[in-house]
Structure 1
């Protein structure tokens, strides 16, 4: 049975059980501060489990894109080493929000697996939560046990501990016991030798969990206690890749038709075949898995970067490059060539791959080139570390610096050292790594108290499109503490005029005014699990009664103007550059706007001017704001509304129109484009391969921009002379300055030549080294030219020059390549050491390096200490 057929049969089965089939949520999560990526099928339904919203559909099913590479669920380092772990995977699931519970979930799971998919009943085992004798003091899940006992023999019903059979969303929130369904795909001979019941939950590659049925019936409070939920829910997750492995009769998920086309392409590109060595097999599995994770993330709008979710994606991609480089001899980019095959496998189920193909390929190729260059630099640095090490053990701190600063993988470091006959101080490396993790964790630690509920069953309503001030009641609140923000409070009201951060737009600020006049300031507004949460540094003195909630009107107006400008900018870019332009991200603040878009070349001055003129023409055209807050999404798209990849839209959406610009958008906007006043682009540049970024300003910021420019122009005219044309005067000064620079350079070269002869006479011989340490009156460029010229006249030369320029200290070190090889001297390491005396630092190559510092008084001591390196 093909994987495509497996997916279709699952969805059709639950459709026939009166479930609504819903699309997968994006892989990258944008409006949940607790998660970077969708790591389970239930993520998009959290608001229903938490009781923050009522589900319109009580029974749904889907196949969900998931990624588990960070936080509690982190499988990254296991991927490739076994035959069933993955970073990105599909989770088939069926859900009940108070509609049905354990009986139906268990019976339907058994029916689907045994009657529809035809899995041998005798190969299946189930687990039931056995209870716990800890603080929760939970009993055996008798209800689930009895339902299972009516279906299969008791010897196939196994007791599971809290770790395996009690599911929790996190430290707080909905949770409950679960029943896992495991399948034994070993040969009959192996089954007779060892019963499958002995191998369940033992990480056996052929006795694997295929489906988890979670019975959500409790809520975990901040103090650790459990309380019953008012409604009971079902949350199931079946690993699509593992299910296909079972149904296709293979022993590894990598042998299913989900992966084999990728595997064949990797073999063709690299010339390495599966089945010859374990290292090659692991590398091919890593590459085949990781290309899926990276491609889907980019398609959903997450580009590789150095922070947050982007860092995780970059790390996955670099792990694939590293395995290809080390074990498949892939010294040139090749991962991007696999995207075509991935689309052939999964493009029908996930059309975003097909529509974003060019972007995915370009981004991956650029990242590959960048990291391969990093690997080459790392090899040089590692070689330098080896040469400067006495003994056969490489210091763990140095290896960590190579890993942390330059991104050089530690396992590659270890492998290379082993080949050279060295060993790595692994304990030292792990200590340095753990220290970094501890620092990072402490910096991001957040402690949340339980919600104190003042008004239960109060539905929240957003009224901020129509009014910036309204009477509200405080529904619930909690205290939140973090290293970054200190002590804050989160407040939820029955209705609110405050816009919550989303769609690139920042959250509103403002204040609450109590009936007695007390003011509580709202410093930010965010959405969490479909609730609008208001942040404050204090709690109102009196919690009951009503408050007047007021949005900062001036900030909202400026932000709305910038948001409307992004829509006009999007339209302008598609008009000027072409319809290939798609929005890839935005940031809308009160002071400026940022807009990322797909385009493959730098915009010319003429194109930027044309884009500006297009937007300003719409501003001058006084286009009115038109919106539809509740239109079916299909109808909106048919009208030409622009939808963004990586965003999840409901059945009905809000459309925003200004003239011919129409987009799906939940943000706030001005009532007429004339309210924007004027639009000015302040910068344009690259973000990643095929992604450009424009930053721009509107309203008061443009006025300030022109006022500042005008004032500076008058100041320049005063300096140049009021009767002069400033452009011609500056051009003339530039020409004159260029001529003076040439004259100065010539004079400095003459000075350096004279100084060279003088310094060569002062060179002393020490321990077979021609040594000189002198203070000179040259800049950094002059010292560099001087030492290289001296090196042409003398071999075995070690020169350290010091200079003071503009109150700063400079050191320049040159070592002949003959000395680098014979004496294992390293200029980069030497200047790093001597840089301490000038209160600075530096680095460079083994034969040439420089350092800078803020203590010129330390130059003489640094020069004096230099001789110690050759003693």
Structure 2
């Protein structure tokens, strides 16, 4: 069976068992603050397990895009080294929410694996939870009894808590699980040693393929377990590993999930993939890294997460750069390679995941731009490596860490380059610096979540904020305390609320909660999956009191103006730039709107002006909002409403229309009832975010009026200064031309001054062991003039070491040139020498072996630095 046939057979089987097949949630977790990426199939169903929501149907099956590259589940550094670890992977799963339980889950697992997929029954083993005295949990004899119907007792094994008790996290739903393992060894090996002895022993050919989790408990913050009101089934089967089994392979990279990518890499590099896992088979490992990493990067970009310097974007950038480092170091490629694999990936997986095919060109451009940037950084890192002072043939740990942290050098690349020069790396020092960084990161991200204190049972949260800004009679369902960086945050959940929780790029509401006569300030409203959480300044004295909830109406109105303006602008961009100008992200609050969209070049001034004109025309038309709620998703698709890649849509959606035929989108945010309330729309800036992604920042309503007024006031000030009320631009242009002319005259005079110094300086040159040496403090305050003078003198003198000191704008600066003939013949290095000299002026610097500069704070140290240069040269 091909990979596509294997995936389809799984879904068809569970459809036949009454399961609803649902699409994969986005790989980037947007509404769950506890996760950066979706790392398991059950993530999108958390609210069902937690009891916050009731599913429309109790049986569901899907294949979920997952990532395990951060936090507790982090497989990144293992990728490429073995044949089973991956960053992005698919998790096939079937789910029961209070419906069937152990009996059916086990029976259907057996039926699918042995009858549909045809796996030999004698190759399968099942594990069940063996109990835990410390937790007071008995062994799972019920699951064992069901397995006895299909397997002999020798193929049913007890597992410990680590292997056979599944937990969502430190707190939350959990329960015993039953894993299914397969023995892929040759018959001779099986006869010599039974597979039962190798289950969960990390044997590469006796592997787990499926896990049936029986969710029965809730783990509280104090570690205690409480029984859930309903029992659920949560299963997960790694798609790549299943393909390995069914295609008769022993590693996942030999399946057709990866072989098309590996063949493309062979074509691009001209190298052959040998499939070796030996430590010295670096090229094979690099090819596996590329085949894996392109999937992770492409899928996350398709789901709306751009590479960046923070959060999930930083992780994606790190994965991408890891791939670049491998092909640069081990495949001898200095040009972008990863982007060339995207069309192959889209062709193989775009049929089932249309977000890949639909955005193929844009994904290629973004990845290519990132690769080019990092390849340039790698070159700088190599230059930095070459300037290191490896005293005694040892690269200091801090220097190795700087290469890792600043330039993206993995420690193995630093080791490799060091070995080529006969150097070693201070491994202990590197590990110490790396650990210090991890400790800082943990401290920055420290968050401790307390248990929910339940006030009322069995109610779901009702959001009424589309229609009302206040609720007179609400009640607290639950509350908890969260410690963020050792600062307490207070969270309250109500059964009815008008507060909009931050989601879809729109900021959460603020306002007030009245518990009887006690007033509690809501400083933010956040969403945790589908739970609306009010973050308050303090808890009320009486949680049982009836609650009056009031949203800050002014702030909501301003935010709604901005959000509605986004819809109008999105439609205007389509009309003016083309249908490719699709939303890639937005950030809307009461002060301004920020909108990211796909476009391949800078917008012209004329295009920006036209967008403003179209939006403001729609505002003046005072178009009434047309809103449709609870529209079945299929009906919404047929209606032509705009749907965005990377968004998770439920079974019923909300459609927002301003002027049918102009702007119709699926949206969960708040909006003005008519466009006239927006008042005015003004674009502040337009610029690049990533390759093929542009960003517009704009203001509306009062903020737009304030901005325009401030601009007019400043323009009037300029007019007054120029004494030219009607020809501001012409007068400013004349001043600029005059300034340019004066600068050229100053540069000419400085060059003359430097030239006049040249003859005097030549007379001060001394010879030290055959080297022309000059160190002098100059009366110049232009760094470029000093650099030019130094190069001119070095060219005329030859075999020279020239150090100039000067005070530039009140700060000391050193400029050092060493003839290239001396860097080669005598091992002199300007970058190393300048760092030593910079200490005298209480500063720092660096550069190349033949040119370096430094700045400092202590002007009085210039003389000492100039004298010290003579000592350093003599000793060298």
TM-score, scaled relative to structure 1: 0.96
Determine whether 1:436 maps to 2:437.
yes
Q: 1:596, CA displacement in angstroms?
A: 0.9
Counterparts of 1:799 and 1:677 in 2: how far apart (Å)?
65
2:650 equivalent in structure 1 = 650
Give 1:823 shift.
Answer: 4.2
Tell me the SS of whatever aligns to 2:532.
strand
Q: Does 1:310 align with 2:310?
A: no
Q: 1:837 to 1:345 in 2, by over 3 A?
A: same
RMSD between aligned residues: 1.8
Q: Which residue of 2 aligns with 1:331?
A: 334
1:726 is aligned to 728
Q: In the alignment, which residue of structure 1 is the partner of 2:702?
A: 700
Distance 1:836 1:537, change over 3 A: farther
- Once residues 435 and 218 of structure 2 are traced to their aligned partners in structure 1, the CA distance between those partners, rounded to angstroms, is 33
In the alignment, the residues of structure 1 paired with residue 711 and residue 845 of structure 2 have an alpha-carbon distance, to the nearest angstrom, of: 38
Please show how residues 204-603 of structure 1 align to structure 2 within 5 Å.
204-275=203-274, 278-385=281-388, 388-471=389-472, 472-483=474-485, 486-516=487-517, 518-603=518-603
Contact residue 390 and residue 423 of structure 2 kept, 8 A: no
Mark the runs of 5 or more structure 2 residues left unpaired by the alignment.
none
Name the SS of the counterpart of 1:477 in structure 2.
strand
Which SS does the other structure have where 1:731 is aligned?
helix
Contact 1:773 1:864 in 2 (8 A): no
| CA distance in structure 1 between the aligned counterparts of 2:549 and 2:691, rounded to whole angstroms | 45
Residues 775 and 869, structure 2, Cα contact 8 Å, conserved in 1:
no
Shift of 1:441: 0.5
Is contact 2:471-2:550 (8 Å) kept?
A: yes
**Cα distance change of structure 1 residues 362 and 50 upon mapping to structure 2, 3 Å threshold:** same
Shift of 1:790: 2.0
Q: Secondary structure at the match of 1:762?
A: coil
- Shift in Å, 1:514: 3.2
Structure 2 distance, partners of 1:196, 1:825, is: 64
* Whole-angstrom distance in 2 between the partners of 1:534 and 1:757: 76
In 2, the alpha carbon distance for the partners of 1:561 and 1:811 equals 56
Aligned-partner Cα distance in 2 for 1:147–1:600: 59
Question: Residue in 2 aligned with 1:193?
Answer: 192
Matched, 1:789 2:792: yes
For residue 836 of structure 1, report the CA deviation from its aligned partner.
Answer: 4.7
For residues 398-455 of structure 1, give each alpha carbon's deviation from its aligned partner in whole angstroms, at most 9, with x where no partner exists.
Answer: 0100111122222211122222222212121111111100011011100111111111
Paired with 1:302 and 1:479, the residues of 2 have a C-alpha distance of: 30
The answer to whether residue 638 in structure 2 is matched with residue 635 in structure 1 is no
CA distance 1:552–1:276, change in 2 (3 Å): closer
> Is this contact kept in 1: 2:101–2:232, CA < 8 A?
yes
- Other structure's SS at 1:217 match: strand
Residue 869 of structure 1, aligned match among 845, 851, 872 = 872
Alignment of structure 1 residues 725-744 onto 2, 5 Å: 725-744=727-746
1:599-638 C-alpha deviation (Å, 9 max, x unpaired): 1111111111111111111111111111111111222222
Partner of 1:94: 94
Is structure 2 residue 621 aligned with structure 1 residue 621? yes
* Alpha-carbon distance in 1 for matches of 2:783, 2:442: 41
Q: Indicate the SS of the match to 1:478.
A: strand
**Equivalent residue number for residue 814 of structure 1:** 817
Q: 1:811 to 1:474 in 2, by over 3 A?
A: farther
Range that drifts further, 40-49 or 634-643: 634-643
Query: Relative to 1, partners in 2 of residues 1:396 and 1:523: Cα closer, same or farther, differing over 3 Å?
Result: same
SS in structure 1 opposite 2:613? helix
Aligned-pair distance for 1:859?
4.0
1:457 aligns to what SS in structure 2? coil
| Deviation of 1:855 (Å) | 4.5
What's the secondary structure of 1:302's corresponding residue? coil
Number of aligned positions between the proteins: 866
> 1:747 — aligned with what?
749
Q: 2:801–2:817: 8 Å Cα contact kept in structure 1?
A: yes
**In structure 2, the residue corresponding to 1:667 is in which secondary structure?**
coil
| Other structure's SS at 2:533 match | strand
Cα deviation code 1:805-859 (max 9, x no counterpart)? 4443433333322333344443334444444554544333232233334554554
TM-score where L is the length of structure 2: 0.96
Q: Report the more deviating stretch, 563-572 or 277-286.
A: 277-286
Q: Which moved more, 1:802-811 or 1:453-462?
A: 802-811
**Shift of the alpha carbon at 1:305?**
1.4
**Could you say which residue in structure 2 is the equivalent of 1:52?**
52
Q: Quote the offset at 1:290 in angstroms.
A: 1.3
Name the stretch that deviates more: 808-817 or 415-424. Answer: 808-817
CA contact (8 A) 1:47 1:53 kept: yes
The whole-number CA distance in structure 2 between the counterparts of 1:258 and 1:240 is: 9
* CA deviation after TM superposition for structure 1 residue 867, in Å: 4.1
- Tell me, in whole angstroms, the C-alpha distance in 2 between the residues paired with 1:436 and 1:346: 38
CA distance in 1, matches of 2:860, 2:608: 50
Contact 1:487 1:537 in 2 (8 A): no
